[in-house]
Structure 1
Amino acid sequence: MRKLKIDLNDQDYMGSHEASSMWGKQKDYVRTIYNKYPKRFPEGTIRKFGKQLIVTREGMEAVTGIKKSQLKDLKK
């Protein structure tokens, strides 16, 4: 198993509600997908801290199929 270095100041880490709304989904989207289909998130892209889920940009892109750079185009 590789050792991950995490920079918590990196904007590619976000709470599940924030990530869900950024991608235009219901606020419980990440939690629902994670509970039903945890293997959809690549290893190391989502983690639970207490009751809070933290997800990476890479994880959201993998689950939704939408790159973060494409989000601006979707909101137009």
Structure 2
Amino acid sequence: MTHSHLQSKAQSKLNAHMISISISKITRVLIILQINLDDLYTAKDASILLGKNPSYVKILHNKTPEKLPKGQYRKIGRELIITKDGIERLRREIQK
């Protein structure tokens, strides 16, 4: 094999590896972005769904954040967002 042929083969392997890495990163991003917006609620909406005062979830987050289901809520700017699953978990905790 000639030097240029070996170089071309090595470049092809490198390109294939780079494409593989890019696809892996894209897949991770797509998984992260695969959120059903119908399953997200503001703290106010969550409080109302729980049959509580509209500020209930926000106060709960500010005073005792450990009572909110881990990984089921996130503060985005000033807004507290909670998932539908998080609301259901919170509902079960309230009923105890």
Shorter-chain TM-score range: 0.5 to 0.7
Q: Secondary structure at the match of 1:42?
A: coil
Match of 1:45 in 2: 72
Q: Secondary structure at the match of 2:81?
A: strand
In 2, the alpha carbon distance for the partners of 1:31 and 1:13 equals: 15
Q: Report the alpha carbon displacement of residue 43 of structure 1 after superposing the two structures with TM.
A: 2.0
The structure richer in helix per residue is 2
Q: What TM-score, normalized by structure 2, do the two folds share?
A: 0.55
Q: Which string of whole-angstrom CA distances, capped at 9 and with x for unpartnered residues, describes residues 6-42 of structure 1?
A: 51x4311111111111221110011011112111222
In 2, the alpha carbon distance for the partners of 1:44 and 1:5 equals: 13
- How many aligned residue pairs are there? 63
In 2, the alpha carbon distance for the partners of 1:48 and 1:18 equals: 15
In 2, the alpha carbon distance for the partners of 1:58 and 1:65 equals: 11
Q: What TM-score, normalized by structure 1, do the two folds share?
A: 0.68
Q: Structure 1 stretches (4+) deviating beyond 2 angstroms?
A: 3-6
Match of 1:5 in 2: 32
Q: Report the alpha carbon displacement of residue 63 of structure 1 after superposing the two structures with TM.
A: 2.0
Q: Which runs of 5+ in 2 are unaligned?
A: 1-27
Amino acid at match of 1:53: L
RMSD value, Cα: 2.1
Q: Could you say which structure has the greater relative contact order, defined with CA pairs below 8 angstroms and 6 or more residues apart?
A: 1
